[in-house]
Amino acid sequence: MQIKVLCLLLVVLAVAVAVGIHSIMVALRAPLPFTVSVEYRGQVRKYPPEPTEGRPEGSDLQVEKEQPCGFWEIFINHNEGPGVHKWTHYFPIYEEHFGHFCRGRENLTMGEIGIHSGGSLLMWRQAFGEKLQLLVGMDINPDTKAWERFGPNVKVEIGSQGDPQFLQSVKRKYPEGFDILLDDGSHIPDHQFTTFVHMWEMIRPGGVLLIEDVHGVNPLLHWLLHGHSHENASMPGWYYPNDKETGKATEVPTDDGNRLNRAPMMAFTSLSVQREVESIKVYPFVIAITRRKVPLVDVQAIQHGSQWMPY
Ligand SMILES: *[C@@H]1O[C@H](CO)[C@@H](O)[C@H](O)[C@H]1NC(C)=O
Ligand SMILES: *[C@@H]1O[C@H](CO)[C@@H](O)[C@H](O)[C@H]1NC(C)=O
């Protein structure tokens, strides 16, 4: 009996010591003095993760031909200093959406929500160079203010992406808006939605809002298409405004709602959502919403040629 109690006490003591060490290290932001290995689906994963060396085998980056910004090269060669943690299949997505800034002469402004250890800010700065006029990091951790030291074009705003007041204050402070807004924040669907609703206006013509880590059963895409509303944000939805037509396909859409697919006749003046939204592109874990560079105002279908089927 007494031995059992003693064993129990020892276990409790060991756990308390481990938790204590961990808390102290977290408080000091020091590296953990030990690593943890977990076997998951036949692969051994280590925490903290080991830095990636070279290209992962079988990576789609090997077949990706054009990499105008070279984000991947910057990433894999970044072995010292502020950390950056990314899914490898995001790099071609960055090249696709941000590449024209590296090819062209245009300057750009960028916002990044969730800047953590600062490594990604360094990556954007290195890739875009002189063209990066303004890089605004947003984070809930006040310590990230330190990353303003990366350069005069780096600003850090402290607040939550789920808080409309914070988002509105960023909008007021940077009225020039963003060519790129990368949402790598809390990854909570409610927050991603609040950020979209309040920040879409800030995306400049030809710009993109790229939402990362849309993992698991995440309703964000459904909300964009069907509409959604909560205490901090609301929108009617681009495909099925207010959810009216879910599951009921109609050949000729009815007139209501500011929707992407509304086509009342063969020539008409666009709705605001048709003017603004160029595309919604869905990748594994990522949703990219681009704003048209030139607004689509006159929507029309026209005919060319002289011979036609008799129907
Ligand atoms: C682009 O930004 C740089 C500063 O990053 C500035 O010196 C330059 O004048 C800007 N060019 C244009 C065309 O706005
Ligand atoms: C709304 O914003 C408040 C203030 O930031 C926050 O506490 C709350 O969790 C938010 N609600 C949702 C649904 O995101």
The CA distance from 296 to 273, in Å, is: 9
Give the DSSP letter of residue 129: G
- Cα(191) to centroid(ligand 2), Å: 8
Contact between 198 and 176 under an 8 Å Cβ cutoff? The reply is no
Query: Domains in the chain and their CATH numbers?
Result: 2-46 (no CATH), 64-300 (3.40.50.150)
Which one is predicted more confidently, 113 or 26?
A: 113
Confidence band of 58 (pLDDT split at 50, 70, 90): very low
Q: Residue 36: is its pLDDT beyond 70?
A: no
Q: Residue 55: is its pLDDT beyond 60?
A: no
Q: Which mutation among 126, 130, 155, 204 tests ligand 1's pocket best, with the greatest number of atoms within 8 A of CB?
A: 130
Contact between 180 and 106 under an 8 Å Cβ cutoff? The reply is no
pLDDT of residue 34: 60
For the chain, the C-alpha Rg in angstroms (whole number) is 24
The CA distance from 291 to 218, in Å, is: 23
Q: Residue 251: is its pLDDT beyond 80?
A: no
What is the β-pairing status of strands 108-113 and 132-139? parallel
User: What mean pLDDT, rounded, does the chain reach?
Assistant: 87
- Cα(163) to centroid(ligand 2), Å: 6
What pLDDT, in 10s, does the model give residues 266-275? 999 999 999 9
Mean pLDDT of 285-303: 96
Give the ligand with the smallest distance to the CA of 163. Answer: 2
Q: Residue 31: is its pLDDT beyond 70?
A: no
The CA distance from 171 to 60, in Å, is: 36
The CA distance from 138 to 185, in Å, is: 8
25: part of which helix (H) or strand (E)? helix 2-28
Structure tokens at 276: 């603004």
